[in-house]
């Protein structure tokens, strides 16, 4: 059977160390370390290998991704300022993407570069988070609500389940930003978001509907999305984050 084949954590770690030594022999390496499930020790029998390789120099940003048939690996080769700039980025996907800059298992790091990298991830002002939160609400969640209402009203519900899943995903990003929290992985994002304290009412119910897979009823999806949106409006108001504006005010 083609594709990924099972192996143990110990076997995967042995492959990762061999890869690290190969890259150290090929590049002028400052640090090399694992991220993802292997770094956390939560890898399953079919997990891949993900690795940062920090090399001396400037402007270096290359991805090496390959499969040897029954297993796969990805090594991001970057100079220090490239990886540091990535760690310092803040966008709507930050709660999901930037755990890779924090949960790193060093395989070679004599200068403790990866430890210093963590400081950049959370170095953002509250105003930056609030601007992103408003952007997620107005730019994404509002639009998903409109599409869900359109689908329910027209009876053209072919993509309604997918819209509900996407709305829940952006809801999780919103909650991660509000709580300044990084999720472990996409597989655990929904469950981790639901235990966070600062979130709109209606999210837990909408998220539970999505994760349960009970998405057969267009009316039920529309009602759950409406309740979630009502919670978002109230929640944003409590935070003094404006989600409704006149064009004239925006242009000022």
Nearest to 77 by CA among 142, 13, 29: 29
Q: Quick one: tokens of 9?
A: 């954590």
Nearest to 236 by CA among 192, 203, 191, 189: 203
> 11, 127, 140, 143: which is the annotated catalytic residue?
143
The 3-state DSSP class for residue 14 equals: helix
Per DSSP bridges, beta strands 61-67 and 49-55 are: unpaired
Contacts of 153 (CB under 8 A, 6+ apart): none
Nearest to 172 by CA among 210, 147, 207, 144: 207
Bridge-partner residues for 53, per DSSP? 32, 77
CB 175 within 8 A of CB 196: yes
DSSP letter string, 146-196? HHHHHHHHHS--TTHHHHHHHHHHHHHHHHHHHTT---S-TTTHHHHHHT-
CB 194 within 8 A of CB 116: no
Rounded alpha-carbon distances, angstroms, from residue 157 to 31, 203, 205: 50, 22, 21
Let me know if 68 is a catalytic residue. no
Active site residues: 143
């Amino acid at each position: 059977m083609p594709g990924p084949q099972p192996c143990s954590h110990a076997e995967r770690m042995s492959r990762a160390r061999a890869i690290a030594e190969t890259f150290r022999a090929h590049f002028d390496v400052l640090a090399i370390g694992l991220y993802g499930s292997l770094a956390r020790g939560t890898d399953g029998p079919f997990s891949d290998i993900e690795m940062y390789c920090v090399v001396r120099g400037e402007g270096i940003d290359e991805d090496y991704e390959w499969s040897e048939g029954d297993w796969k690996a990805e090594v991001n080769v970057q100079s220090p300022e490239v990886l540091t700039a990535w760690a310092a980025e803040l966008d709507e996907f930050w709660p999901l993407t930037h755990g890779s800059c924090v949960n790193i298992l060093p395989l070679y790091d004599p200068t403790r570069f990866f430890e210093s990298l963590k400081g950049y991830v959370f170095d953002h002002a509250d105003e930056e988070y609030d601007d992103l939160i408003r952007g997620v609400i107005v730019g994404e969640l509002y639009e998903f609500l409109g599409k869900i209402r359109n689908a329910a009203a027209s009876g053209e519900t072919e993509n309604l389940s997918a819209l509900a899943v996407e709305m829940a995903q952006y809801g999780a990003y919103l909650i991660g930003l509000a709580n300044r929290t990084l999720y472990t992985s996409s597989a655990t994002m929904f469950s981790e978001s639901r235990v966070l304290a600062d979130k709109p009412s209606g999210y837990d119910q909408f998220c539970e509907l999505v994760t349960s897979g009970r998405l057969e009823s267009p009316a039920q999806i529309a009602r759950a999305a409406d309740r979630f949106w009502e919670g978002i409006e109230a929640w944003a108001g409590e935070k003094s984050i404006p989600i409704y504006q006149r064009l004239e005010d925006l242009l000022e």
